[in-house]
A and B are shown apart, each in its own frame.
Chain A
Amino acid sequence: MDALVLARMQFAANITFHILFPTITIALGWALLFFRWRWLKTQDAAWLGAYRFWTKVFALSFALGVVSGIVMSFQFGTNWPGFMQTVGNIAGPLLGYEVLTAFFLEASFLGIMLFGHGRVSERVHLVATFLVAFGTTMSAFWILALNSWMHTPAGYVIRDGEFFAASWLHIVFNPSFPYRLTHVLLASGLTVSFLLAGVAAWQLLRGKAQAWTGRTLRVGLTMGAVLIPLQILAGDAHGLNTLEHQPQKIAAMEGIWQTERGAPLLLFAWPDAATQSNKFALGIPKGASLILTHDLDGEIKGLNEFEGAHPPVAPLFWGFRVMVGTGVLMLAASWTGWWLLRRRRWQAAAMPRPMLWWLAGMTFSGWLATVAGWYVTEIGRQPFVVFGLLRTADVASSVSSPMIALTLTLYCTLYLVLIVAYITVVKHMAEKPEAAPAPAGAPVPAPLRSAT
């Protein structure tokens, strides 16, 4: 296979694996701060139980995020040496600030947050928890600033084929950045909502409910029910922003091959790149025009206007539908679940089992939507690495195909094993009875030691 395709697959595999874990830790950090704060306020042991359990999930997710993040810092150079050589003056400082202001902050205070209880005061511990949550969010800020700049570059000048910064304000707050940051942070919130609700539902189904299970079910459902409408609004705004700056991405997402007025919103179709048309199309007439231009007969540019400079259609078309479909399911599940739980006066144990099964089935739905959406936006930038300015093929490395194929296989195998292990261990932890806290001063029994 082509070395370029392999290098892209390798980078995509790594970033796909990586994104799963920050998506959890960004919002889970704030959820932990909330649990901890509620515990300090109310002294209700259920909040402490929730904090203890979810801290472990956080630690595990954080570890997976750190190690796959290290891989990223190497692959920028090994897979895309031309990227840093051309736009390094802009990408470099953004990545640098991420490591300096975020990565170190979270990694250093994590130790205190996880194991510092009893060694530092409650207040310092709460501050450490805050700094970890703040660090993960700052991390998202810098990384998305760079990523958004690659989609909607601004604030640069080009001299002798190399990019130089002209205005850092315009580079960081480039046109798509506010939309993308909002969209991603909400995605993280939703991922955690369904993780909280899903694990709680699973415990109830299995008869393994803990004192904190009802709390997290309520927190998860409330978070989900509030965030999903916001996400739909944010997603719509982001889509309109994309239409303005990257119309070919929208054309591919909607499967619009030829420029047309009153374009239908396709619910199902089989985009065929060979004939430049859709097979088996089923759509709502004029739907796409209405959503994108807020006018029934609005004109949408087709892919025919971007000959040789538009992304492949099928992955965008399908990725977008998977993301939106998951979002609709999230809306239905969180609103139904919240309403049912409220009707039962927040008694989680009284929840109907089909509803619990539904929520348990959606435990990792946030991952699906996030990854699908990420594919849409990233594949949608192709064939460019910096939209309209720098082609991916021009920055690839000269490493040979067999070498990339070998390491790709290695990484993929490892990532698959680790995802299976992660899900299995979260399930195992959810089902394990809570260890009774050891009385103060008593020696810790051997099997309970070392909670690293």
Chain B
Amino acid sequence: MNWAEALPVIFLALMGLAMLAYVVLDGYDLGVGLLLPRAGDADKDTMIDSIGPFWDANETWLVLGVGILLIAFPKAHGMVLGALYLPVALMLVGLILRGVAFDFRVKARDDHKPLWNFAFFAGSGLAALAQGWMLGRYITGLEVNAWTTAFAAVIALLLPAAYVLLGASWLVMKTDGELQRKARDWARIAWPPVVLGMALISLATPWVSESVRTRWFTMPEFIALLPIPLATVAALGATRWLLGSDHVLGRWCALPFVLVVSVFLLGFVGLAYSLYPYVVMDRLTIWQAASATESLAIIAIGCAVTVPAIVGYTVFAYRVFWGKARALKYA
């Protein structure tokens, strides 16, 4: 493999990583946003405090993911985002609303606070629904017919559930007392739709795509791939068991979050395996969609230096705010 062939693969990997980071990181704060109306006023503040220092950086992963799509695979960027024009616009409106509500809710007049709380919830909901819809459309190859539309609609409802599960597990980890108990209950409610969603996606992708079918259901690949669905089932099962016990209220509080993140990770690996080397399912490969090798090389050099640094200071930022969420005060 020479550079011209390897660079698009490297960028695909990087884009996948950025998207995964986005879904996991912004996923938990979108989930917290979706849960906001269920909490009392004091709990609302604690919930926001738990995500306050991170949300700006979390959303930046989306810019990186879409940015790589734009700069490394410009032809795919046009095709994908053109086909998803309206849901993209709705997601952006949602992200704008929640991003600003975050800041406005504590700076505006006190009697406007409920309004901004609602904007935070509504924006989170709109963004999550739109992302679910886009995921549904994307994994059915942007094909538009009754079946794929119905599928996209179902995923649109199930992805928010996954974010709620993630957000509730985050709260179990970052809070204590009554709120932690409540968060555990919320996580339990969100669990069944997540299982349903994972199952639906696993069934739908081989069904709509011949190439996915052959990739998964031929010997000996089938045996080699078996650990992915088995580990997913195990992680989901363990999550459910933990959420039913009191262990998560104490020392094991981080475990559900870690397990749910690993479910996202496994789902991502499965999806990536199904799609590769297509950037749009069965229609456009990464090599067809890629920019010129010279341009990819110059971005690759930048990425080699900056991405480890970004990961480094992201870890640093999380360490600074490690442990249970405390009230945030401007310094």
Interface string of A98-111 (1 = CB under 8 A from B): 01110111011111
- Are the C-beta atoms of A421 and B108 separated by less than 8 Å? yes
Q: Is A84 an interface residue when CB atoms closer than 8 A count as contact?
A: yes
- Interface-forming stretch among B181-189, B193-201, B279-287, B306-314? B306-314
Q: How far is the CA of A120 from the CA of B331 in the complex (A)?
A: 11
Q: Given B48, B68, B92, B107, which contacts A425 in the complex, CB threshold below 8 Å?
A: B107
- Are the C-beta atoms of B93 and A103 separated by less than 8 Å? no
- Are the C-beta atoms of A103 and B72 separated by less than 8 Å? no
Q: Is B270 an interface residue when CB atoms closer than 8 A count as contact?
A: no
Q: Which residues of A contact B299 (CB under 8 A)?
A: 92-93, 96-97
- Are the C-beta atoms of B292 and A96 separated by less than 8 Å? no
- Are the C-beta atoms of A70 and B306 separated by less than 8 Å? no
Q: How far is the CA of A345 from the CA of B88 in the complex (A)?
A: 56
Instruction: Contacts A104-B310, A452-B102 given; indicate if A67 touches B95 (C-beta within 8 A).
Output: yes
- Are the C-beta atoms of B57 and A107 separated by less than 8 Å? yes
Instruction: Contacts A52-B330, A407-B86, A425-B107 given; indicate if A70 touches B63 (C-beta within 8 A).
Output: yes
Q: Is B327 an interface residue when CB atoms closer than 8 A count as contact?
A: yes
Interface size class of B (residues with CB under 8 A): 35 or more
- Are the C-beta atoms of A70 and B95 separated by less than 8 Å? yes
Interface residues of B in 96-151 (CB under 8 A from A): 96-97, 99-100, 102-110
Instruction: Contacts A73-B66, A452-B102 given; indicate if A447 touches B110 (C-beta within 8 A).
Output: yes
Q: How far is the CA of A419 from the CA of B148 in the complex (A)?
A: 39
Q: Given B81, B89, B317, which contacts A112 in the complex, CB threshold below 8 Å?
A: B317
Instruction: Contacts A78-B88, A450-B327 given; indicate if A100 touches B306 (C-beta within 8 A).
Output: yes
Q: Which residue of A lies closest to B78 (CB)?
A: A81
Q: How far is the CA of A108 from the CA of B55 in the complex (A)?
A: 9
Interface string of A371-386 (1 = CB under 8 A from B): 0000000000000000
Complex A-B: 9 CB contacts under 8 Å: A55-B331, A76-B70, A88-B74, A96-B71, A99-B67, A100-B307, A450-B48, A450-B49, A452-B106
Q: How far is the CA of A91 from the CA of B299 in the complex (A)?
A: 11
Q: Which residue of B lies closest to A131 (CB)?
A: B313
Q: How far is the CA of A114 from the CA of B56 in the complex (A)?
A: 12
- Are the C-beta atoms of B107 and A56 separated by less than 8 Å? yes
Q: Which residues of A contact B89 (CB under 8 A)?
A: 407, 410-411
Interface residues of B in 23-80 (CB under 8 A from A): 41-42, 45-46, 48-49, 52-54, 56-57, 59-60, 62-64, 66-72, 74-75, 77-78
- Are the C-beta atoms of A92 and B72 separated by less than 8 Å? yes
Q: Is A446 an interface residue when CB atoms closer than 8 A count as contact?
A: yes
- Are the C-beta atoms of B70 and A56 separated by less than 8 Å? no
Q: Is A291 an interface residue when CB atoms closer than 8 A count as contact?
A: no
Q: Given B42, B48, B82, B317, which contacts A109 in the complex, CB threshold below 8 Å?
A: B317
Residue numbers of A with Cβ under 8 A of B are 52, 55-56, 59-60, 62-64, 66-71, 73-74, 76-78, 81, 84-85, 88-93, 95-97, 99-101, 103-105, 107-120, 125, 162, 164-165, 168, 397-399, 403, 406-407, 410-411, 414, 418, 421, 424-425, 428-429, 444, 446-447, 449-452
Instruction: Contacts A410-B93, A414-B93 given; indicate if A421 touches B104 (C-beta within 8 A).
Output: yes
Measured between C-beta atoms, what is the minimum distance from B170 to chain A in Å?
Answer: 16
Q: Interface of chain A, helix or strand or loop or mixed? A: helix
Q: Given A60, A109, A418, A446, which contacts B107 in the complex, CB threshold below 8 Å?
A: A60
- Are the C-beta atoms of B57 and A77 separated by less than 8 Å? no
Q: Is B207 an interface residue when CB atoms closer than 8 A count as contact?
A: no
Measured between C-beta atoms, what is the minimum distance from A153 to chain B in Å?
Answer: 15
Q: Which residues of B contact A97 (CB under 8 A)?
A: 299, 302
Task: Please give me the 10 A-B residue pairs with the lowest Cβ-Cβ distance, nearest first.
Answer: A117-B331, A92-B71, A111-B53, A81-B78, A450-B45, A452-B52, A84-B74, A67-B99, A89-B295, A88-B74
Instruction: Contacts A63-B100, A414-B96 given; indicate if A84 touches B70 (C-beta within 8 A).
Output: yes
Q: Interface of chain B, helix or strand or loop or mixed? A: helix
Q: How far is the CA of A109 from the CA of B85 in the complex (A)?
A: 33
Q: Which residues of B contact A110 (CB under 8 A)?
A: 56-57
Q: Which residue of B lies closest to A57 (CB)?
A: B107
- Are the C-beta atoms of A411 and B66 separated by less than 8 Å? no
Measured between C-beta atoms, what is the minimum distance from A143 to chain B in Å?
Answer: 13
Q: Which residues of B contact A428 (CB under 8 A)?
A: 107-109
Q: Which residues of A contact B225 (CB under 8 A)?
A: none
Q: Which residues of A contact B103 (CB under 8 A)?
A: 59-60, 63, 452
Q: Which residues of B contact A113 (CB under 8 A)?
A: 331
Q: How far is the CA of A408 from the CA of B11 in the complex (A)?
A: 32
Interface residues of B in 275-331 (CB under 8 A from A): 291-292, 294-295, 298-299, 302-303, 306-307, 310, 313-314, 317, 320-321, 327-331
Q: How far is the CA of A199 from the CA of B263 in the complex (A)?
A: 50
Q: Which residue of B lies closest to A111 (CB)?
A: B53
- Are the C-beta atoms of B82 and A77 separated by less than 8 Å? yes
Q: Given B45, B88, B106, B294, which contacts A165 in the complex, CB threshold below 8 Å?
A: B294
Q: Which residues of B contact A120 (CB under 8 A)?
A: 320
Q: Which residue of A lies closest to B313 (CB)?
A: A108
Q: Which residue of A lies closest to B312 (CB)?
A: A108
Q: How far is the CA of A7 from the CA of B194 in the complex (A)?
A: 38
Instruction: Contacts A89-B294, A100-B307 given; indicate if A66 touches B45 (C-beta within 8 A).
Output: no
- Are the C-beta atoms of B63 and A103 separated by less than 8 Å? yes
Q: Which residues of A contact B292 (CB under 8 A)?
A: 89, 162, 164
Q: Which residue of B lies closest to A162 (CB)?
A: B292
Q: Which residues of A contact B42 (CB under 8 A)?
A: 446, 449
Q: How far is the CA of A133 from the CA of B295 in the complex (A)?
A: 29
Q: Which residues of B contact A69 (CB under 8 A)?
A: 63
Q: Which residues of A contact B99 (CB under 8 A)?
A: 63-64, 66-67
Q: How far is the CA of A446 from the CA of B327 in the complex (A)?
A: 10
Measured between C-beta atoms, what is the minimum distance from B96 to chain A in Å?
Answer: 4
Instruction: Contacts A100-B310, A449-B45 given; indicate if A112 touches B53 (C-beta within 8 A).
Output: yes
- Are the C-beta atoms of A74 and B291 separated by less than 8 Å? no
Q: Which residues of B contact A104 (CB under 8 A)?
A: 57, 60, 64, 306, 310, 313-314
- Are the C-beta atoms of B57 and A168 separated by less than 8 Å? no
